[in-house]
Chain A
Amino acid sequence: MKQLMLGNAAVARGLYEAGCAYVSSYPGTPSTEITEVVATYKEIMAEWAPNEKVAMEAAFGASLAGRRSFCGMKHVGMNVAADPLFTIGYTGVNAGMVIAVADDAGMHSSQNEQDSRHYARASKIPMLEPADSAEALAFTKLAYELSEQFDTAVIIKMCTRIAHSQSLVETGERVEAVKTYEKNPAKYIMMPGNARKRHPIVEERTRALAQWAETAQINRVEDGSDHSRGIITSSTSYQYVKEVCGDRYPVLKLGMIWPMPEQKIRDFAASVDELVVVEELDSFIEAHCLSLGLKVTGKALFPCIGEFSQNLVAEKLGMDVPAGEGALDEAIPARPPVMCAGCPHRGLFYTLAKNKITALGDIGCYTLGAVPPLGALDTTICMGASVSGIHGFTKAQGGAADSRTVAVIGDSTFMHSGVTGLINAVYNESASTIIIVDNSITGMTGHQQNPTTGYNLKGDPCAKIDLETLCRAVGVKRVRVVDPYDLKQTEAAILEELAAKETSVIISRRPCALLKYVKHKKPVVVEADKCRSCRLCMKVGCPAIFMKDGKACIDNTLCTGCGVCTQLCRFDALHAKEED
């Protein structure tokens, strides 16, 4: 029976049906649900790794041992895993190994909109690109066949609209696949002498895969009635093209985006008057067509920025765009994401903003500390960059001990790649002050466990990395814990550690207010006659506080009673409600 399935869940189903036995990933929107859904299949060992490099190496180890394996990540995670990726490109695999990477054109939840297709060509690893959930399931299974047939890892390339759209799939049964490990130094020890011998094998493999792509059903021509134009496309762009053009123009839909079938593309080009490539982000298919010496229109017509849509494709192809009712002639205030009411990060960011402290930020919910009214962050680059960056920042300022700069990094991000930066700070004698905002969960991606939470992906209790012990073990002598709901304590700790002439770590610890086990207090009460309308309580940017008729008011449906606002009021107008 057909059922609606999220693209990411369909990849997970494909892993299950293909007999995948081991999964290791790091969460990242829009890839996270693949691994979360995999964890619901008891036949698959599924784990969160501290970062994508570890995940990919663990998955490679499982492949080597003879079990089909998988790792999933968002596009920027592929940068972290690029080191093993390029050499796994040389070694090939034992049992099948599949890697999923999810791009985020339009940057719904990302810091850049890199095009991960380049990784396939650069690492010489084939890449399949599904265009809906049914293909996500089928391509994942096919990827394992290709992986074992051609002795290579295979990348499944997702994007937000495929990963987070539900469409119809039909499921199948699981088939187990087990191989045995055999020692093979020439294949798996990539020292120069062996790697030089592997490289020609890799080039030959790419030629063989390109030959396979010529007749592969996943690279299909859908004929059209009007051959004045032919369109090569893939992924979500294919859906927009079909939505707009129907069966009018012939379409070459590429399911394998690397390597591409040269003769098939040449034949298709020869069958139409004008060749058009419709692809989101960079020129990739188009660049390949150009390298074949074909005359092609791509990025001259379509943007390399942001997501496409059916209207954009229609407009660029000179087709009708629906008029619709048009926009309301009214300034509609934006509704950006905000830190939740009761968010433990709020008290910390208020303290940093109040003291005009420069804060190098990182990747997570706490990036929201950058938005008004708090505006408490100065940078956001990538996972771990705050801790590494503050060291350089402090050094460049002559190591000034009175520097008013801190790094702010979350618990999961610190595990991902903050700890190496901390080691660098200690080793190179930094006066940096590093604040770990420990909300006991990986928050922004939707509450995933991590090595500091004491629970694993399957929800079972497990070893728990103790942040204080870890920081002391790498040589930080000044490690302290504060409660960010206590503004005085938090401020005193920050000012003291900024004055210290050595590396210090402040752990700002409070579980995320959205965690089910976190008990909320009763909403804060306002004594309206005491409120002088000074709006000081509004400075924390809490969505539960608003002004009505010049007086502060609390939205009782949102307020968690955290009490941060009550510590700001100079007129004693805000109170914690007495517990019954």
Chain B
Amino acid sequence: MNTKNIMIVGVGGQGSLLASKLLGRLLITKGYDVKVSEVHGMSQRGGSVVTYVRYGEKVYSPVIDKGEADFIVSFELLEAARWTEYLREGGRIVANTQQINPMPVITGAAQYPDALVEKMRAKGVIVDDFNALEKAEAAGSSRAVNIVLMGHLSRYFDFTLDEWMDAIEQSVPQKFLELNKKAFMLGREA
């Protein structure tokens, strides 16, 4: 098989590392070669962050380049727009519609663009957009946005629900397990 590419993008501090940990766990149990690439350090301080997850028979590059991503899972709407050019032809964006203003918007130096989902669709990009923050809060914690988004992404994979749930069990603390399972299902149904 060709290498599959999943990008997880968002704002530093949103919990994208847990999402990549979950995916990585699941993919190695399925026997794939896997690479996960993160950026640490300065980007964590509220900056734009991206995590690359690649899997297949043999994965070489640890990063995903423009035009290669099968999926872009975005924790924040502007970040979905920023990374759109990394999508392969026919790829899919899973976008949380939550908006977090970057500093240039806060200071008034720039505007947060409007109607971003519509503009992506007008370009022919396939977008699944929904408010993952509301789903996470419904599950019991705003911090579960990452699992809600993984739940939605799971719709496009052949893995069984049990396999996903096993990966969640291995990735989150026991006391938050039920909350995260609920968040996952709310995302899967969204």
Contacts and interface: CB of A to CB of B under 8 A. Distances in A.
Interface of A: 2-4, 29-30, 32-33, 108-109, 132, 160-162, 164-168, 236, 239-240, 242-243, 309-311, 321-340, 365, 368, 371-373, 444-446, 535, 538, 541, 543, 545-547, 557
A310 B69 CA distance: 13
Nearest to A8: B40
Contacts of A239: 60-62
Given A4-B24, A165-B62, A324 B43 contact: no
Contacts of A332: 78, 81-82, 113
Contact of A333 (B45, B61, B62, B112): B112
12 contacts: A108-B42, A109-B41, A161-B63, A167-B34, A322-B66, A333-B113, A335-B82, A340-B46, A444-B45, A446-B41, A543-B46, A543-B103
B37 interface: yes
A167 B35 CA distance: 5
Nearest to A108: B39
Given A167-B35, A309-B65, A330 B60 contact: no
B89 A3 contact: no
B45 A328 contact: no
B105 A337 contact: no
Given A322-B67, A328-B119, A330-B116, A546 B106 contact: yes
Interface of B: 11-12, 24-25, 28, 33-48, 59-63, 65-68, 78-79, 81-82, 84-89, 91, 101-113, 116, 119-120, 123-125, 142
Contacts of A132: 35, 62
A2 B36 contact: no
Given A240-B60, A332-B78, A335-B103, A325 B87 contact: yes
A372 B25 CA distance: 40
A302 to B, nearest CB: 16
B86 A324 contact: yes
A324 B79 contact: no
A330 B119 contact: yes
A32 B44 CA distance: 15
B28 A109 contact: no
For A29, A33, A109, A243, which residue has the most chain B Cβ atoms within 10 angstroms? A243
Given A164-B38, A446-B40, A325 B84 contact: yes
Contacts of B67: 311, 321-325
A330 B81 contact: yes
Given A310-B61, A325-B124, 4 more contacts: A165-B35, A324-B88, A335-B82, A538-B107
A250 to B, nearest CB: 16
B123 A337 contact: no
B39 to A, nearest CB: 6
A331 B113 contact: yes
Contacts of A243: 60-61
B79 A335 contact: yes
Contacts of A161: 37, 62-63
Contacts of B60: 239-240, 242-243, 310
Contacts of B82: 332, 335
Nearest to A312: B65
Contacts of B43: 108-109, 337
Contacts of A109: 40-43
A132 B62 CA distance: 9
A336 B47 contact: yes
Nearest to A131: B60
B95 to A, nearest CB: 12
A109 B33 CA distance: 29
A333 B113 CA distance: 8
Contact of B89 (A32, A325, A340, A368): A325
